[in-house]
Structure 1
Amino acid sequence: MADATGTTAAPTSAPLGAGTGEASARPKRPRALLVVGLAGLALFVAFAIAVLQDVDAPFTQPFDEAWRVLVGLAPGTGGEAWALPMFFQVLGELPGAVLTILLIPIWLFVVRRWRSALFFLAAEVGGTLLVSQLVKNLVDRPRPADDLAAGLYGPLFSVDHGSFPSGHAVSAGILLVAVAAILPAAKRRWWWIAGALIAVGMIWQRTLINAHWFSDAVVGVVGGASATLIIWWLFAKLLAKDYGRPLFRRSTVAPANEGAAS
């Protein structure tokens, strides 16, 4: 179309790629979180179904028995009461629940990472109820019991019914992934190591005190971690808006990506 000077004006259009770059800058849900989470959860469910076929002697029973012979303590030795095993004992009980369901979410709200707080609550409450308590009541595998003729013993601490999954182990799996999710990517590597040690230590402690069979603890960690990976995937876009905020002091400036989103 010619303008007033007789020259032809180029048609107006948006710059090439405009909108594409904006869309690509938006945070995406990492597919790997969903894939790994679903695979782990499928393994957890498959094991639960297998145990249901014979709760008194599932296919892992021979190995579980051998592990109890190797690791399980007899009462009166005091080996269950020193600092390290007691750390794992209380981590899965009321003090650990206060830390993960109250203190950590409250602190995340204080430092204005409310999205991270909601994620943490969803992971801890949802994972504990669905992966631990629901499955424990559905499967109801007997815990290790006294076998005095073989020199084997049952739980050295007070426990409820149902050995699979280990609630302590599920909590360790949830904690492993939930803390990683709220950390910036550059700071996760050290937590993966520390969190893995917590998970392994929890498996050791639950079998040391004869509270669970080895398979209950291992698959419990897998179930808790896998469910939390899926919840992380669901919250990924919200969590990305919190990564610019500090974890240990109150933020006074909103992250750039939050300002752009608003």
Structure 2
Amino acid sequence: MTAASGREGQAPPASPSRPRALLWTAVALFVVFVLLGVGVLASPPSPWTQALDDAWRALLGVGPESALPAGPVAQLFQNLGALPGFALMMIVLPLALVAIGRWRSALFVIAVQLAGPGLLSQLTKNLVDRPRPAADEAAGLFGPLVMVDHGSFPSGHAVSTATVIVTVFALIPASAVWMRRIWTVVGVLLAIGIVWQRTLINAHWFSDTLAGLIGGAAVALLLWWAFEPWLRRDRARKASFLGR
């Protein structure tokens, strides 16, 4: 038997399957997110998390006299979940990925943004319809210190932040161990920071921010699992302008 005939008799190598851990983690997070939403939907003005939310607000929420909300750190998180962050993830990053020949990854980034901050956040806000923290002058509490849209659950900024964290992690090759470790630390700081900023300015209850992180991560992980074959191809190739 010749070498050529031997090769012809061999089955083509199977492509690696999608990691099941991504799928089951996404499903588990979705279940938690739905349970939190159902718990709030049962009594939007005062759900089962209200005691914790009130305690957190009394500890962390500030009034208009505070300089913290206008500081650079708080403004970083304010913009991350607003138009600048949206433009970064929907326009700048996809265009950069296309420029280096990774259009599949660009589609993944756009899909996550449409499904997370676009669909999940707005759909749940209107379905659950939880009131935002309101001013209570007798208790020394203030309402949102910025313009906010309808519905407090979940925090749209937290959903956006979680999708950014997972999306960037998915784009980093597994071989870049130190880069993934550094981004893990950055991701944890981003998650903590968005919870701090959204509750500092009384824009959301504490549980709204946690639910936003959970929901955003669930969407991003599910789409990571769905796009993984394409992402794997992109991670394995050089940038187009560097040659093949």
TM-score by length of 2: 0.93
Equivalent residue of 1:243, what SS? helix
Structure 1: how far apart are the matches of 2:101 and 2:58? 50
- Which of 151, 170, 178 aligns to 1:181? It is 170
* Aligned residue identity for 2:237: R
Quote the residue 2:210 is aligned against.
218
Partner of 1:252: 242
1:104·1:117 contact (CA, 8 Å) conserved in 2?
A: yes
Do structure 1's residue 98 and structure 2's residue 87 form an aligned pair? yes
Maintained 8 Å contact 1:245/1:251: no
Which structure is higher in RCO with an 8 Å CA cutoff and minimum separation 6?
Answer: 2
> In structure 1, the residue corresponding to 2:204 is in which secondary structure?
coil
Match of 2:120 in 1: 131
1:226-241 alignment runs, 5 A limit: 226-241=218-233
Structure 2 letter corresponding to 1:60: T
**3-state SS of 1:32 partner:** helix
Decide whether aligned partners of structure 1 residues 176 and 17 sit closer, same or farther in structure 2, where only a CA change above 3 A counts.
farther
Equivalents in 2 of 1:66, 1:239: separation in Å? 43
* Higher Rg: 1
How far is 1:91 from its partner?
Answer: 1.0
Q: Determine the structure 2 residue equivalent to 1:50.
A: 39
What pairs up with 1:141-180 in 2 under 5 angstroms? Answer: 141-180=130-169
Return the alpha-carbon distance in structure 2 between the equivalents of residues 17 and 150 of structure 1. Answer: 79
Alignment of 1:15-26 (within 5 A): 18-19=10-11, 22-23=13-14, 26=15
Q: For residues 29 and 142 of structure 1, what CA distance do their matches in structure 2 show? A: 40
Name structure 2 gaps, 5 residues minimum: none
CA distance in 1, matches of 2:99, 2:144: 40
| 2:236 match: secondary structure | coil
For 2:80 and 2:7, locate their aligned partners in 1 and report how far apart those are by CA, in whole Å: 56
State the shift of 1:15 in Å.
Answer: 6.4
1:109 aligns to what? Answer: 98
**Alignment RMSD:** 1.9
**Structure 2: how far apart are the matches of 1:116 and 1:242?**
7
Aligned counterparts, 1:199-218, within 5 A: 199-218=191-210
Amino acid across the alignment from 2:99:
V
1:80 to 64, 69, 79: 69
For residues 9-66 of structure 1, the C-alpha deviation after alignment (integer angstroms, 9 at most, x for no partner) is 9xx975699326x11xx23200000000010011001110111000000000000000
Does the residue aligned with 1:241 lie in a helix, a strand or coil? helix
Q: Could you list the runs of 5+ residues in structure 1 that have no partner in the other structure?
A: 1-8, 255-262
More helix by share: 2
Identity of aligned residues (%): 49
- CA distance 1:17–1:148, shift in 2 (3 Å): farther
1:217, distance to aligned residue in structure 2 (A): 0.3
The code of the aligned residue for 1:91 comes to L
Shift of 1:244: 2.3
Out of 182, 207, 210, the position equivalent to 1:190 is: 182
Report the Cα distance in structure 2 between the residues aligned to 1:233 and 1:168, rounded to whole angstroms.
23
Displacement after TM superposition at 1:127 (Å):
1.2
Output the CA distance in 2 between the equivalents of 1:225 and 1:80: 26
* 2:53 matched residue in structure 1: 64
Instruction: For 1:80 and 1:17, locate their aligned partners in 2 and report how far apart those are by CA, in whole Å.
Output: 68
- Per-residue CA distance 1:157-197 (angstroms, 9 max, x = gap): 11111000000000001001001011111232211111121
Report SS of the residue matched to 2:36: helix
